[in-house]
Amino acid sequence: ILLLTVTPILVAIILAYMLEGIVHRFTANQSFNRNTIVLLVYFSFIAVSIAILFLLLPLMIEQLTLFVQSLPSILEKGKSLLTNFTSSDKGIISSDQLTNIFSALNSEVTMMSGSIVSYSLASAGSIFATIIYILIVPILIFFLLFDKKEINGWFKKFFPEKLDLSKKAYAELDLKIGNYIRCKFIEIIIVWVASTLLFTLLGLNYSLLLGFLCGISVIIPYVGAIAVTIPIIFVGYFQWGTSSEFWYIIFAHIIVQVIDGNVVVPILFSDAVNLHPLAILISILFFGTIWGIWGVFFAIPLAVLVNTLLNIWPKTEYKS
């Protein structure tokens, strides 16, 4: 119940931070009133969201259904792929071990498919609640944007008036988290669109679904890129074997990841986060261990929070 209550609020705050960057750019460079800009940006966002909801979402659900149905065949192909690289004499994993591993995976896939169906049937009665949440999120976004000044003023009442440290923390954290969310959203869109276009042009099955997975994989740096490569390899091998098309797909995926890591990320995040890769990996491990999947998703914002507090904390100078 708590998760269902907090999730819409977190989603609304994240989307409001993202849209605030667009509002700020227009209000800084134009002479328009902020409320007018907020209304234009907000209704444009609603129009784009409705278009995605009714155009792309049905296609992705259809591809997801086909993908789940074909998972046993894909796993069988994956088994033959790994068998080509191993042997009972020299390989690290024997054929019998591979058979046992993929038998267990097939059992898990069967259970997962059954769980999806049972969850869909069980959740049919909560469709009304889901609709309510979908309606609440846009309303929350609107008030977070339209009444930002009043909301900030309300939160500031809880900070001690004479404590400069709390004011600096709030100001820097608001700036850093806002920049991170906006830059991360732009990165997701770039990787999603680029991967989907390349997969579609090369004729890969489930191109929209796999492109979307590539996009959201950037939420978890380094780990996400490795994780999303596994289904791409299996789907490509299931479709083409080890023909040239399979290697084209792998090469295209690697190129997108390289450009993202070496061009897109440095440009977008040069001033947004300023965290060392080691700090990012440690934060993913630490917060993921504490809060599971939610800790993994919010690891970097939490690391930014800790880094901000460390940066603004008064430093004592020792005299020798």
pLDDT, one tens digit for every residue, the chain (320 residues): 445 567 777 778 878 877 887 787 777 666 677 888 888 888 998 898 888 888 888 888 888 888 877 777 777 776 676 666 555 455 556 666 666 666 666 666 666 655 555 554 444 445 566 667 778 888 888 888 888 877 777 766 666 555 555 666 666 666 777 777 788 888 889 999 999 999 999 999 889 999 999 998 888 777 788 888 988 988 888 888 878 888 999 999 999 988 887 788 777 766 566 666 677 778 778 877 887 766 777 777 777 777 777 766 655 554 54
Contact 82, 93 (CB under 8 A): yes
The residue to which tokens 């997962």 are assigned: 112
Count of beta carbons in the 10 Å neighbourhood of residue 236: 26
Q: Which residues contact 43 (CB under 8 A, 6 or more apart)?
A: none
What is the C-alpha separation between 320 and 308, in angstroms, rounded?
Answer: 29
- DSSP 8-state symbol, 125: G
